[in-house]
Amino acid sequence: MNLIQKFFSHKTRRRAAPYLFLLPFIVLFTTFWAGPIISSMYLSLTRWNGLRPPQFIGFENYARLFSDPVFQKALQNTLIGAVVYDVLLVLMALALALVLHLPFLRWKSFFRGVSILPVTMSLAVVAFVFQLIYSAQGGLLNQLLGLVGAPPRNWLGDPNIALGSIIGLRLWRAVGYYAIILLAGLQNIPEELSEAAWIDGANWFQTTWHVTIPLLRPVLAFVIVTSTIWALQLFDEPWLLTQGGPLDATKTVVIYLYQNSFRFLTLGYGAAISYILTLVIIAISVIQLRLTMTRD
């Protein structure tokens, strides 16, 4: 009897164990993520100033998005910024990774260390430093341009180039990091494959283009998806450097939803903006998930 009891309780414990191990996650996730996402969906269907109770207005906020020129400008900046950033990022990171993978290269760990150093700085700190670099009056970049006799520019104050300047500082921080990720992917490719191509008489470029890059595709897909997801959430740097100006030239979707939620106190509208952007981001990560799954 005692033995049966013991067996039984052991079995029960083993059945209950996974739920108990998951309990902290379930509690925290429900409270701080799942619950708020559902209430955010409701808020996006209301007019709410954060003080009086929210007032249900159906899809009015979503309809307003289509006729709001500021939102459209913000969306345009975000999408153009993401595409330009992604293309330059992938090209530069891939080039750096391929160079760091060259078999004859010396001081590899030094170059790897230097490449990854910028990403250890927080976005906010990078923004502070680049304020000095981009400053129109005596900033580092204009000083360097002065050395070669080029005229100074107002990197953050000129609406035509401000978004480009923001993309530039993001690239400065991220290229090395993504290069290291791609490098890890390159190191996972069996060397016999490229050696076979070498023996068949292919040169470095042919081997890289026809053998290495196709095999690197899953990691490249990961890099593109991850960097896109982060690019769509652009906030810290333009908020700290230009507050979205000049003339909304660096206003992003997240800046606009932050302003609606915490400055203009149009929280329902802010929630609608955040919902649209979240759906885009989740759609992209589902694509990523499928790519990862098929890879395995």
Least distance (Å) between residue 26 CB and another protein: 8
Residue 123 interacts with another protein (CB under 8 A): yes or no = yes
User: 82 to 111, contacts with another protein by CB under 8 A?
Assistant: 96, 99, 102, 104-105, 109, 111
Binding part of the chain for another protein, among 8-16, 60-68, 71-79, 83-91 by CB under 8 A, reads 8-16
Strand partners, 55: 47
Of 280, 240, 244, 241, which is closest to residue 264 (Cα–Cα)? 244
Binding part of the chain for another protein, among 64-72, 81-89, 120-128, 158-166 by CB under 8 A, reads 120-128
- Name which position in 7, 8, 9, 33 contacts another protein (CB under 8 A): 33
Residue 56 interacts with another protein (CB under 8 A): yes or no = no
What b/e string do you get for 133-153 counting C-beta neighbours within 10 Å, with b at 16 or more? bbbeeebebbeeeeeeeeeeb
Residue 281 interacts with another protein (CB under 8 A): yes or no = yes
By beta-carbon proximity to another protein, the closer residue of 156 and 180 is 180
Beta strand spans in the chain (E): 46-47, 55-56
Rounded Cα gap, residues 249 and 238, in angstroms: 10
Binding part of the chain for another protein, among 39-47, 55-63, 70-78, 82-90 by CB under 8 A, reads 39-47
**Residues 47, 54: contact at Cβ < 8 Å?**
yes
End-to-end Cα, the chain, rounded Å: 48
Inter-CA distances, 22 with 17, 29, 35, 216, 279, Å? 9, 10, 17, 35, 27
- Name which position in 47, 64, 112, 153 contacts another protein (CB under 8 A): 112
Residue 130 interacts with another protein (CB under 8 A): yes or no = yes
Residue 233 interacts with another protein (CB under 8 A): yes or no = yes
Residue 76 interacts with another protein (CB under 8 A): yes or no = no
